[in-house]
Structure formats: C-alpha cells, structure tokens
Chain A
Amino acid sequence: GAGVSQSPRYKVAKRGQDVALRCDPISGHVSLFWYQQALGQGPEFLTYFQNEAQLDKSGLPSDRFFAERPEGSVSTLKIQRTQQEDSAVYLCASSLVPRGTGELFFGEGSRLTVL
C-alpha cells in the first residue's frame, strides 16, 4: 500500500506475555520512528532507525522493550513480559529524510491492552 501499515491493529495480552508489533513503512523511507501514545496524551518517542541502524533508543522505557529493522524496511517492536503500564497505542512513523526534520507519515497504530 501507499501508507505506513501496522499490525496487529489491536492486541490483548495477559500480563507476562511477550508481544510483537510490526511496522511496514513507506517504500524508500530512510527514517523509521516508534512512539508510544497513552490515552489522552501526545506520542512519546521510543526509538529511531536510519535504514537498518538504530541510532537512538533513548525513549525505550525498560530493557523489556526491543526494536529491530534488520533490512532497513520492516520493523518490529517487541515487548517482553508485558505489564499493565505497557497498555497504550504504539505508533510507527516513517520519513523520507534522515532524522527528525521532515514530515513524518504515521500508521494508524497498534493498540495494546495488557490484562
């Protein structure tokens, strides 16, 4: 498709389960960002990739969060041993240019609910 695609759109996990969220960015986009958006809040930065290199992971809240983009296109955000506080919408965005200077194109998000 022409836009950023995220899957699954909705995920319900029991506390302690591992989850994996997938992002298909726009073809040819160099930059890929993951954000976490709690209910009623703005997106909070998690991590940034430039092609396959993870250049900034300063926003990952704990070592239970891990992201990869091995071939510089599709990215996966993995959350191990999920906790209730991980419940949020996880947004993926891509950009044609490096770093945080250009227009970000967002997917519709993956809503994670941890019971």
Chain B
Amino acid sequence: GDSVTQMEGPVTLSEEAFLTINCTYTATGYPSLFWYVQYPGEGLQLLLKATKADDKGSNKGFEATYRKETTSFHLEKGSVQVSDSAVYFCALGRYSSASKIIFGSGTRLSIRP
C-alpha cells in the first residue's frame, strides 16, 4: 500500500542556515504530494503541494520538487528563521477512489537565534 517516509527529528539549526527535510514515498501511479506544517499550539496547515512529476511547490521560502524517478519530495529552504520552528509532515493523496491522505511521522525543526 501507499506509504510516506520522512527523516526523523529533531532537527536543530541556526538562523539563516540551509534546511533540507527528506521525504520519500511508496505508491503506484501518480499521487499528489504535500507538505503540512504544525506550529506550536496550532492545527496542521498546508505549506505546499505538487500534483505531478517535476512540479515544484513553493510557499514562504520553502520549496519541494516532485521527483518520480527517486520517489522523493524533499523540503528545502535557503535561509531559515526562528519562526520556522515547527513540526513538518510530508503527505500523499490521490485522484482516485482512495479517499485518505497519508502522512509521514513528522520532523520537528528547531531554529536557534
């Protein structure tokens, strides 16, 4: 069945550092891929998404490219800020009879001033 695997945290970086959070997926066909973020004390919210191979999703300085050949959707940001401290979830969904969106286990990111 479909699954999502993301790098374990916690990840601790200094402000302005480069960020990569790895995400790989297992699925047949062409799922849509998402990154959701959960800030402290808030609900999960969509950060970015990509719906087909080679698409790049971007938002708030974050980017992720849908790589079919490596079944990956790694999250990157060139210069992180303290306000980026949160838990990040990679997720997979489908345009098919399957209704659920499947989430990875989450990666906690802490940014030091």
Q: Please tell me which one of the listed residues A33, A41, A50, A103 contacts residue B105 in the complex, with CB atoms under 8 A apart.
A: A41
A99 at interface by CB-CB < 8 Å: yes
Distance in angstroms between the alpha carbons of A91 and B101 in the assembled complex: 13
Q: How many A-B residue pairs have CB under 8 A?
A: 67
Asked if B44 contacts A33 (CB within 8 A), the reply is no
Which chain B residues in 8-52 approach chain A with CB under 8 Å?
A: 32, 36, 41-46, 49
Distance in angstroms between the alpha carbons of A43 and B34 in the assembled complex: 14
Chain A hits for B44, CB < 8 A = 43, 91, 93, 104, 106
Asked if A108 contacts B103 (CB within 8 A), the reply is no
A12 at interface by CB-CB < 8 Å: no
A56 CB to nearest chain B CB (Å): 5
Asked if A55 contacts B89 (CB within 8 A), the reply is no
Q: Which residue of B lies closest to A58 (CB)?
A: B100
Asked if A55 contacts B99 (CB within 8 A), the reply is yes
Q: Please tell me which one of the listed residues A58, A104, A109 contacts residue B46 in the complex, with CB atoms under 8 A apart.
A: A104
Asked if A100 contacts B94 (CB within 8 A), the reply is yes
Distance in angstroms between the alpha carbons of A48 and B102 in the assembled complex: 13
Chain B hits for A33, CB < 8 A = 100-101
Taking A42-B89, A43-B44 as contacts, is the C-beta distance between A103 and B49 under 8 angstroms?
yes
Taking A41-B106, A42-B89 as contacts, is the C-beta distance between A108 and B101 under 8 angstroms?
no
Q: Is the interface of A mostly helix, strand, loop or mixed?
A: mixed
Which chain B residues in 89-103 approach chain A with CB under 8 Å?
A: 89, 93-103
Distance in angstroms between the alpha carbons of A43 and B105 in the assembled complex: 8
Taking A41-B105, A42-B104 as contacts, is the C-beta distance between A109 and B43 under 8 angstroms?
yes
Given contacts A42-B4, A99-B94, 20 further A-B contacts (CB under 8 A): A31-B99, A41-B105, A42-B89, A42-B106, A43-B89, A43-B103, A45-B100, A45-B101, A48-B99, A56-B99, A59-B100, A99-B96, A99-B97, A100-B93, A100-B99, A100-B100, A100-B101, A104-B44, A106-B43, A109-B43
Interface CB pairs A-B, < 8 A, 7? A31-B99, A48-B100, A55-B99, A93-B44, A101-B94, A103-B46, A108-B42
